[in-house]
Amino acid sequence: MTPSDVKATLSFSDGSPSMDLPIYKGSVGPDVIDIRKLYAQTGKFTYDPGFLSTAACQSAITYIDGDKGELLYRGYPIEQLAEKCDFLETCYLLLKGDLPTGAELKGFMTSVTHHTMVNEQMQFFLRGFRRDAHPMAVMTGLVGALSAFYHDSTDITNAEHREIAAIRLIAKMPTLVAMAYKYTVGQPYVYPKNSLSYTANFMRMMFATPCEEYQPNDVLVRALDRIFILHADHEQNASTSTVRLCGSSGTNPFAAIAAGVACLWGPAHGGANEAALNMLGDIQKMGGVAKIGEFITQVKDKNSGIKLMGFGHRVYKNYDPRAKLMRETCHEVLNELGLQNDPLFKLAMALEKIALEDDYFVSRKLYPNVDFYSGIVQRAIGIPVSLFTAIFALARTVGWIAQLNEMIGDPEYKIGRPRQLFVGATPRDVKPIAAR
């Protein structure tokens, strides 16, 4: 870390001694005030619910400027990566720190391709789930179970183990997601095919059957590959912080990633695109495009309890840079599949138009976000709404692994131990039961 020439001075109105706090500079973005010695010197903690003003780590992976609507992977703008690179190039970048050369990419692709199969016993493990189980419930179990099959890559202190665990997780997540889908619809599992690209292989495992071979559509493959790139990492969000906190105990990578999957499941996080499509379905049931005005009126009424899902973002106070790219992809997919007049997609485009023009939404910067468009694209491709979050987990796995490995390699890393402001009962004695 680079120390700043400036220090912060913390003073107290009760006459307690003041203390100087070091300040460190980021390469871009806000500086941080180092409070590590605060408790030792003052006996006080800071209070920051949700850690919205607390930097829990130093990281060189992803940078977000919400006010500018900027997202960088290892310094590269997300727009350039989504237009000029594929998902495996992006994976290499996040893991290694730089974009690969041709030879490096070929070697990386070969490693991933030859680890896409999973142990045959995984299918017996799947049979323990109900057919109607939510895919994220299934994925939480499957990812955690990987540690029971791959004992040779569970020591996070071993760099070689971390390397092979990273490759295995990136390679096997598409296979597991496809297996979870096939199980819920009662179709036989489709094995990976090494001659296909990462994303085309996933689509084939999703949609092929023994009675009919699946021919990947290049436009749809590129659209899904872009979804993977846009969701690969997003700085210190809830699921990434969960993976870091879980991994800080020294647990194996598969368990840490399973914790990330569980956290991502929440509707306020990875389930946002599923919530957005469910919202569109509800409006359609109300009467579709003709009822949008009535729906928007309810959204504006704070007492209605109706929320506009897929619009606005907690971090971006400008247009989500990922949403711009996904909007283009959305229209490409709809045109390719001839779905411009599909009732649900017409409804989505009408809702988008209102949100981009209505002063209520514009003034509050409630622009359509990446979840809104990615949900539409996935539904058009044929991915069921319940599987959206599992697709998100597939894409985010590489970011989680990169963040986990970065933490383990940081000499300052310690097991996570958040503090609290205790507001419960003061010490008291236990009375005999008859006297209570």
Of all helices (H) and strands (E), which one includes residue 322? helix 321-337
Which of the residues 115, 134, 231, 313 is marked catalytic?
313
Q: Which is nearest to 315 in space by CA: 390, 404, 235, 392?
A: 235
Judge contact between 340 and 387, C-beta under 8 A: no
d(CA 52, CA 69): 18
Active site residue 371: yes
Judge contact between 315 and 284, C-beta under 8 A: no
Residue appearing with tokens 């806000």:
30
Active site residue 313: yes
Reading the block at residue 325, the tokens are: 């790219």
What residue type is assigned to position 323 of the chain? Answer: A
Give every strand in the sheet of 62-65, ordered side by side. 62-65, 70-73, 76-77
Of all helices (H) and strands (E), which one includes residue 162? helix 159-185
Residue appearing with tokens 């994303």:
199
Positive/negative CA dihedral, 86, 366, 392, 77? positive
Which of the residues 86, 233, 320, 371 is marked catalytic?
371
The residues carrying an active-site annotation are 313, 371
